[in-house]
Amino acid sequence: MRWHENELVVVTGGGSGLGRALVRGLARDGAQVLTVGRRPEALAETATADSDRIRTLSADIAHADERGHIIEAAQGYTVRAVIHNAGLLDPVGPLKDVDLDAWRKAMAVNVEAPVFLSQGLLPLMEPGSRILHISSGAAHKPSMGWGAYCTSKAALFMVYQIYREELWREGILVGSVRPGVVDTPMQDHIRTQTPERFPAVDRFIKLKQNGQLHSPEDAADFILWALLETGDKQFIEHEWNIADEEHAQRWRETRQV
């Protein structure tokens, strides 16, 4: 893709794992990237890949005032794309035991932040700009112990669909991607859970043991392919899923050219 100096991509959750791989992939492609996370040291490590193209901002997207700092930092640029990558798995455990404050934190990070960060950045976008939600199988299938995560990801999927319909007529394109099970710190956290809190924990332990996790770099490449290389109608027509063989084949064929 051809990038202009006044264009910016905003990526949340860029301090590690998939977010770090996305930020570095965008910088390699020539994009100017503003990446956001709560840990300044982790963000600084991400930026070592290309300090000229990667800008960092320490902010907690769960809070409206800190989302305001992100919007301020993007002023003066055309926001070419936003990737809502940050996500919170906790609280893990049966719904009957979930703490109210922890529930609200999950909803703030996983649902409220994408809604209102997109809203705040829209005045900086132009026709053709794209917003991408990082989705999950948890949005479509219940998993015991993941009540907050499944609920918030299902809500995020609906946010994608509504924004997609509302913003299409303005030329702003909204898409969603399921990157599969990726070898990230979130997966490390999942494997520490007890069967009482998360009955499916053994499955995730075996995925790691059997080498069945996607690397952050491969998952990021699939996501950036969907974001940057699909046509307008292709990008928004459905949720892209790395586990869908047709979707994965189209990605691989593009990469072989």
Amino acid at 238: H
Q: Largest Cα–Cα distance of the chain, in whole Å?
A: 52
Cβ atoms 185, 17 nearer than 8 A: yes
Catalytic annotation present for 149? yes
Tokens of 50: 């290309």
Tokens of 163: 């924004």
Report the DSSP pairing between strands 130-134 and 78-84. Answer: parallel
Report the DSSP pairing between strands 7-12 and 130-134. Answer: unpaired
Cβ atoms 78, 18 nearer than 8 A: no
Nearest to 106 by CA among 70, 71, 154, 143: 154
DSSP character for 108? I
Residue 82 φ/ψ, nearest 5 degrees = -130, 130
Q: Is 175 helix (H, G, I), strand (E, B) or coil?
A: strand
Amino acid at 80: R
Q: Which member of 77, 149, 160, 163 is catalytic?
A: 149
Active site residues: 149
